[in-house]
Amino acid sequence: MLMVYPTARKLWRIYRAFAVADGASKRDVGVARAAFEAGMLATVKLFSVMIENGEEQEMVAGIRRTGRDLRELEGKLWH
């Protein structure tokens, strides 16, 4: 079964939609964007370390759990 995981752009759209739904100003959304990008960079670095240490299976399991959580959040946001 082919699993489709959210891209960084899709994740940002979900993140931004929650910020805007809460009535965030443009400045607040900018701050949220900076925090999101920092978090994405940290995640990529973590995945890199996990791969270097031979922990690919643990990484994949974490991505799958996160993907399920994000699909659930997206469903709540858009429906």
* The model's pTM: 0.61
Instruction: Give the confidence band of 8 by pLDDT, cuts at 50, 70, 90.
Output: confident
Q: What is the structure's pLDDT at 2?
A: 44
Residue 4 has pLDDT above 70, yes or no: no
Rounded distance between C-alpha atoms, residue 15 and residue 10, angstroms:
9
- Taking only the tens place, the pLDDT of each residue in 30-70 is 888 888 888 888 888 888 898 899 998 988 888 888 777 77
Residue 79 has pLDDT above 60, yes or no: no
